[in-house]
Amino acid sequence: MPFTINKEPFGNFTKLNIRHDDTGNTITILPEMGARLNHFQVGLHGESVDIIDGYSDTDALAKESMSKSSFLAPYPNRIADGKYRFNNNVYQFDINKPRENNSIHGFLSNQIFTGIKSGDVDDCYEIILSCKVEGVSGYPFPFSVDVVYRFGGVWLQVDTIITNTGQNVIPVGFGWHPYFRMTGTVDNLLMQMSGVDKIEVDKRLIPTGEKIKYKRFDKFTRIGDIELDTGFVFLNDQKEIQLLDEAHGMYVTISMRGKDNQYKYVQLYTPPHRGSIAIEPMTCATDAFNNGWGLKKLSPRECLRAQFTIMVS
């Protein structure tokens, strides 16, 4: 078996480590905190580099500081005033962005996921983690989530499926919030992202309804001192973002390619420390419960499925 699997305690949580023996590359998943990816360590010129800016501190994890690798469901990003209307009913989420008076990132990121299947599949190791949700105040709709990790050493595919387990139609969107890094600051990295429109927002970071052409990163361009907390919509099926650490010849590609892949949007965020950049695949836009951009309405037993792949080269 080319993979070594082990579990170890991480404060009150458990780390699941999956090592690809041929390369030594390792991923770490935290099933009890939203099935999040906490590390992806790869070999680079004889050293180990973690391309995921995860949690090394359990207190920061418990507080979900910066939402590192959080699973964003049943909506990603913001809902204006935490309020939306669906089927002639008005619902109110908790306001967890008080300065903006918005609700953000759903309520699944700290939920316990349990393993239902794992093992070698073809050229990768696959693990399926699952969570059942009965609904909460502001979202009284039951659903289930399956997260499928497929790890092939230099690549990792994350497949996410939400299924409506109730008796009524429900509104759904989701996304992930991983931060990527390499050997230096974000400022020195080059990025390529073409075929997108930028989503214009107001001072509360809620879309205004306007989209504009965005070509700054059509070719590999140094990120420099640009500040991003910005949503984009892909204009074609070649949905891909590449980062390049030019000094070390290292590429990281985040791919959402495919016509049927429901990741149609992405949010980019550069935190103040400039040590990493969040690249957040999303099935819908910010405030989709109100503006409808990418929002899915699932009938009973219907699924919403999307996947992204991280490739290191």
pLDDT at 46: 83
pLDDT at 1: 59
Distance CA 77, CA 71 (A): 11
Distance CA 108, CA 70 (A): 8
Q: Give the CA distances from residue 121 to residues 127, 140, 309, in Å, rounded to whole numbers and listed in that order.
A: 10, 37, 17
Distance CA 275, CA 51 (A): 11
Closest CA to 114 of 130, 92, 93: 130
CA 228 from centre of chain: 16
* Residue 159 DSSP SS3: strand
Q: How confident is the chain (313 residues) per 10-residue block, as mean pLDDT?
A: 92 96 96 98 91 96 96 98 97 96 97 93 95 95 98 98 98 98 94 98 98 98 97 97 95 96 98 97 98 98 98 96
204-212 contacts: CB < 8 A, separation 24 or more? 204/78, 204/80, 204/100, 204/101, 204/102, 205/78, 205/100, 205/102, 205/229, 205/286, 206/78, 206/80, 206/102, 206/286, 206/287, 207/231, 207/285, 207/286, 207/287, 207/291, 207/293, 209/291
Helix, strand, coil percentages (3-state) for the chain, rounded to 5, are 5, 50, 45
Torsion angle of alpha carbons 104, 116, 26, 274, nearest 10°?
Answer: 0
Distance CA 49, CA 90 (A): 47
Tokens of 91: 């619902």
What domains can be seen in the chain, in order of their start residue?
3-312 (2.70.98.10)
Structural contact between residues 83 and 68, judged by C-beta atoms closer than 8 angstroms: no
Q: What residues contact 304, with CB distance under 8 A and at least 6 apart? A: 161, 162, 172, 173, 174, 262, 283, 296, 298
- State residue 188 phi and psi, 5-degree precision: -90, -5
Distance CA 128, CA 13 (A): 18
Does an H or E element contain 58, and which?
helix 58-63
37-42 contacts: CB < 8 A, separation 24 or more? 37/69, 37/149, 37/156, 37/158, 37/178, 38/68, 38/69, 40/156, 40/310, 40/312, 42/154, 42/312
Single pTM value for the model: 0.96
pLDDT at 186: 96
